[in-house]
């Protein structure tokens, strides 16, 4: 039996692809060998106790048997319903096992789904993950693949799972979404099974400006239409802070006069507080006057508190002259309007 176990294990160890389930055929044999070893060891211990102190020969088995059964039962209860999270504690337990074997067979997906269901913006765009089949039953809306094509489009959330991270599946996409800190982490038995991130909204023009305490504008996309100018910014929240701020975008004529504008909640009014790692990027349609004369127009933006009207300080970026439109205004870009058809 030992020879069979050794040869089988050695043969599979030579293969480049190794999964713990490939060794399942040796476990019945190991169970028989373990039973034989325990029986033999117990018989010798009982004989030694009977020789040393005959009165205790029957007391120790009566105590140890229920204690072992209790330990095994409590261990099973502790790991339910995720029994595959158990690793031999004599060999380091889960702290070691997650670095030796592939970990994660869907553990935590119900908890991840429950957290996502509480997010008011979860159904606005797809949720990305490397294996959508394990998550889609727990998440409202569409779940699709976390890859380069997925993050190139707007996505509400991205779930990084430990098994996919261990195998470095869709690695460039995983690295992109992990640039922001996780909004939620599911960890159990010392194993960080999954983290939830928000992918950065895609943009075409980088800006690298910041307002207040850690509200970062990565960039924007601009789509001029016949009667509407659609600006889509890409915001990154870098520190926990209060929400409720409004965003204004002004279209200024060459003489500094405001010819069009839009004022909206930065987060669509969905979050009273903002968490580090959140991303915002809703399209902002700016209606253009029908009689807008051809000229070079300036697009500027800023943030303000709707209750007090106070503006959020502009920390980094190109400021607009305060004499034109007040303080703490970002000079974003210029565009020629109307655009040629």
pLDDT tens digit string along 285-302? Answer: 999 998 899 999 999 999
The pLDDT-based confidence of 18 (bands split at 50, 70, 90) is confident
pLDDT of 17 strictly over 80: no
Task: Indicate the range of 49-63, 201-215, 253-267 predicted with least confidence.
Answer: 49-63
Q: Which two tokens stand for residue 192?
A: 């960080």
Q: What is the pLDDT of residue 340?
A: 60
Separation of alpha carbons 96 and 63, rounded Å: 32
Task: Indicate the range of 51-60, 246-255, 297-306 predicted with least confidence.
Answer: 51-60
Give backbone dihedrals phi and psi of 66, rounded to 5 degrees, phi first.
Answer: -65, -30
pLDDT of 56 strictly over 80: no
**Domain boundaries of the chain, sorted by first residue:** 2-80, 109-197, 205-337
Q: Which two tokens stand for residue 98?
A: 């997650």
Separation of alpha carbons 312 and 80, rounded Å: 49
pLDDT of 341 strictly over 60: no
Q: Which two tokens stand for residue 42?
A: 């117990």
DSSP state of 164: H
* Greatest Cα pair distance in the chain: 109
The pLDDT-based confidence of 20 (bands split at 50, 70, 90) is confident
Q: What is the pLDDT of residue 183?
A: 97
Separation of alpha carbons 248 and 260, rounded Å: 11
Q: What is the pLDDT of residue 141?
A: 84
Separation of alpha carbons 275 and 182, rounded Å: 10
Q: What is the pLDDT of residue 38?
A: 85
Q: Which two tokens stand for residue 191?
A: 């194993």
Task: Indicate the range of 12-26, 90-104, 213-227 predicted with least confidence.
Answer: 12-26
Give the CA distances from residue 318 to residues 92, 107, 237, in Å, rounded to whole numbers and listed in that order: 54, 47, 20
Q: What is the pLDDT of residue 128?
A: 96
Give the CA distances from residue 272 to residues 95, 167, 267, in Å, rounded to whole numbers and listed in that order: 37, 38, 9
Q: Which two tokens stand for residue 14?
A: 């030579």
Q: What is the pLDDT of residue 68?
A: 83
Q: What is the pLDDT of residue 207?
A: 96
Give the closest residue to 282 by CA, choosing from 206, 203, 211.
Answer: 203
Q: What is the pLDDT of residue 312?
A: 97
User: With the CA atoms of 119, 122, 127 and 131 taken in that order, what torsion angle do they form, in degrees rounded to the nearest 10?
Assistant: 50
Separation of alpha carbons 158 and 182, rounded Å: 10
Q: Please give the mean pLDDT across all residues of the chain.
A: 92
Task: Indicate the range of 50-54, 259-263, 313-317 predicted with least confidence.
Answer: 50-54
Give the closest residue to 121 by CA, choosing from 158, 151, 156.
Answer: 156
DSSP state of 105: S
pLDDT tens digits along 123-176: 999 999 999 999 999 998 899 999 989 888 899 999 999 999 999 999 999 999
What is the edge-to-edge ordering of all strands in the sheet holding 191-197?
A: 143-145, 127-129, 157-161, 191-197, 184-188
- Answer yes or no: are the C-beta atoms of 303 and 212 closer than 8 Å: yes
The top-scoring range by mean pLDDT among 137-146, 225-234, 267-276 is: 267-276
Taken in order 94, 99, 100, 105, the sign of the CA dihedral is: positive
Q: What is the pLDDT of residue 44?
A: 84
Separation of alpha carbons 160 and 131, rounded Å: 10
Q: Which two tokens stand for residue 259?
A: 């010819």
Separation of alpha carbons 231 and 50, rounded Å: 87
pLDDT of 226 strictly over 80: no
Q: How far is CA 288 from the centre of its chain?
A: 39
The pLDDT-based confidence of 330 (bands split at 50, 70, 90) is very high
Q: Which two tokens stand for residue 257?
A: 């006069």
pTM of the complete model: 0.84
Which residues are within 8 A (CB) of 336 and not within 5 positions of it... i.e. 6 or more apart? 294, 295, 296, 297
Q: Which two tokens stand for residue 101?
A: 């074997």
The pLDDT-based confidence of 284 (bands split at 50, 70, 90) is very high
Give the CA distances from residue 306 to residues 121, 247, 263, 274, in Å, rounded to whole numbers and listed in that order: 22, 10, 10, 16
Q: Which two tokens stand for residue 305?
A: 């508190």
- Answer yes or no: are the C-beta atoms of 220 and 203 closer than 8 Å: yes
- Which fold would CATH assign to domain 205-337? Coagulation Factor XIII; Chain A, domain 1 (2.70.50)
């Amino acid at each position: 039996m030992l020879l069979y176990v050794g040869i089988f294990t050695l043969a599979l160890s030579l293969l480049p692809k190794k999964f713990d389930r490939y060794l399942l055929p040796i476990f019945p044999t190991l169970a028989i060998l373990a039973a034989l070893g325990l029986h033999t060891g117990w018989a010798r211990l009982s004989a030694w106790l009977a020789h040393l102190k005959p009165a205790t020969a029957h007391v120790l088995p009566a105590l140890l048997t229920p204690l072992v059964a209790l330990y095994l039962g409590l261990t099973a209860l502790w790991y339910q319903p995720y029994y595959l999270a158990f690793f031999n504690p004599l060999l380091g337990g889960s702290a070691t096992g997650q670095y030796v074997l592939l970990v994660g067979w869907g553990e935590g997906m119900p908890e991840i789904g429950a957290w996502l269901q509480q997010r008011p913006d979860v159904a606005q765009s797809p949720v990305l993950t490397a294996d959508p089949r394990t998550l889609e039953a727990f998440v409202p809306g569409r779940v699709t693949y976390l890859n380069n094509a997925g993050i190139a489009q707007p996505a509400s959330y991205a779930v990084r799972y430990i098994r996919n991270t261990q195998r470095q599946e869709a690695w460039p996409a995983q690295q992109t979404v992990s640039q922001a800190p996780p909004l939620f982490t599911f960890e159990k038995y010392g194993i960080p099974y999954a983290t939830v991130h928000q992918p950065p909204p895609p943009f075409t023009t980088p800006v690298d400006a910041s307002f207040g305490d850690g509200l970062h504008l990565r960039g924007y996309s601009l789509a001029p239409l016949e009667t509407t100018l659609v600006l889509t910014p890409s915001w990154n929240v870098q520190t926990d802070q209060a929400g409720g701020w409004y965003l204004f975008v002004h279209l200024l004529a060459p003489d500094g006069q405001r010819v069009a504008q839009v004022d909206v909640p930065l987060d669509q009014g969905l979050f009273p507080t903002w968490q580090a790692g959140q991303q915002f990027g809703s399209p902002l349609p700016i209606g253009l006057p029908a009689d807008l004369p051809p000229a070079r127009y300036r697009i500027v933006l800023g943030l303000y508190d709707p209750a007090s009207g106070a503006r959020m300080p502009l920390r980094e970026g190109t400021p607009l002259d305060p004499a034109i439109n007040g303080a703490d205004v970002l000079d974003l870009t210029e565009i020629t309007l109307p655009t040629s058809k």
